[in-house]
Structure 1
């Protein structure tokens, strides 16, 4: 991964001291100082497209009988912290800390992921969280292999077009569409092939959609099926998502049936 210079240029005394801790000290507790919880994006998957950087929150909670002075951290990908160069960090380490009680503190920072620094192989995986904490006595504790509670996913797009419009009642409607998703390796959107997508319909004035059928995307991500026109209403495609790609619903297409 190409790490941006701005990301690598970390500031803040706590962050610098954390990164400088020798690997031999990793995961060694400083007395009763413990990192008790990490949360990425509030536990919700992080959806990233092809061009826009994505900001999201990293929260880390630590506890110690003498109280916690500060906490800092970042995300990294791989199986070996000492050799991994794939990281997602804040531009500047500036965590906002809130005392839960006299012994426990949660610090939250904003980290930034750049699509051009991601690979498709990262999608759906749980990144590791590096975290370091300092108690009120100045003791430090560092952990490297904490697991994220959220995954990074490739953004998806979905379209629907029903034709002809208007159409006579009982005649055939052709409903086309396309399911595409972000390709982090090429920085473009490409067809998501061989995926099951639901075609849904809502009659004009009705409160909810019903599923008419399930359609498979072709080798280019295109969708196509036919239905009989019955009454004025809305058609849309709905994709339930996969482990690497989030669920997405297309904008509905209204059909005037005469």
Structure 2
């Protein structure tokens, strides 16, 4: 089962569990590469501390032009994927077309050398050579909140990185596997994105129908994904939300008033009804929580 990527005591070492995905969630071709990368990554990290000699060599590969969405929201249960593109530059003797060459983008929370958490894709990136020493690559980050990959404190800014692994004909499962013949490259600080908790917002205007000039009460609730319980729960009191109105027959909403959430994300306010139209609440979001707007609730004014 995929679980939160607990970082080992050695700098940059990643627990093997960060790559272990159930067959029901990932292509079979993806499971092997994650285990291979984890093994080589851990050996490379330990060698950096001088704790072992049997480690991969530093491969002449660098990464640039890392592009990812400015933000993406993750719900309480459902898998979420976001696409990453980047440029890979390599020495002429690095065979990126080899079957056992792998490159992959990933995200990390905290410092690059000792991250608090990391997110990878189910499959390696695909690359197309643009010259003898450069290639354009495209991969995905796959997130499974129901598998414990995230805790609520992980919401916010994450940084982008990419790595490359060349087995050079070595079989990771063979008894004579020689990791010193394996090439490895890893580079952080390539970009950034916000990993946000998905939000939900409801609205209900009553009574309806209503006589013109009479007061209607509009209630709602603002909740967000809790990655630790895999449910939605109310945000802390005092979140700023705007009540908007769209007159029937028009397409644009206009602001009516701003209000604050109370306990459990509850919302309640009143307005006088003048014409038929739709009322909704809208929330601009914060660093940890994605913006959201409720579907409009129609009020028939008679």
Paired residue for 1:54? 80
Paired residue for 2:240? 196
Paired residue for 1:178? 221
The question of whether the paired residues in 2 share the 8 Å contact of 1:195 and 1:216 is answered with yes
Change (3 A) 1:208 1:237: same
Alignment of 1:103 with 2:133, yes or no, is yes
The question of whether the paired residues in 2 share the 8 Å contact of 1:81 and 1:144 is answered with no
Offset at 1:86? 3.1
Paired residue for 2:20? 8
Of 44, 63, 66, which residue of structure 2 is paired with 1:38?
Answer: 66
Count, aligned residues: 250
224-233 or 59-68: bigger deviation: 59-68
Matches of 2:194 and 2:135, distance apart in 1: 25
Alignment of 1:235 with 2:235, yes or no, is no
Matches of 2:188 and 2:72, distance apart in 1: 20
Alpha-carbon RMSD across the aligned residues, in angstroms, is: 3.1
Matches of 2:32 and 2:85, distance apart in 1: 18
Paired residue for 1:150? 193
Offset at 1:96? 1.2
Matches of 2:70 and 2:215, distance apart in 1: 41
Offset at 1:54? 1.6
The question of whether the paired residues in 2 share the 8 Å contact of 1:15 and 1:73 is answered with no
Matches of 2:274 and 2:78, distance apart in 1: 42
Paired residue for 1:64? 90
Matches of 1:58 and 1:17, distance apart in 2: 24
Offset at 1:202? 1.0
Paired residue for 2:119? 88
TM-score (structure 1 length as normaliser):
0.83
Give structure 2 stretches of 5+ with no counterpart. Answer: 6-15, 22-30, 50-56, 169-180
TM-score (structure 2 length as normaliser):
0.72
Which stretches of structure 1, 4 residues or longer, exceed 6 Å deviation after superposition?
Answer: none
Q: Classify the secondary structure of the residue corresponding to 1:11.
A: helix
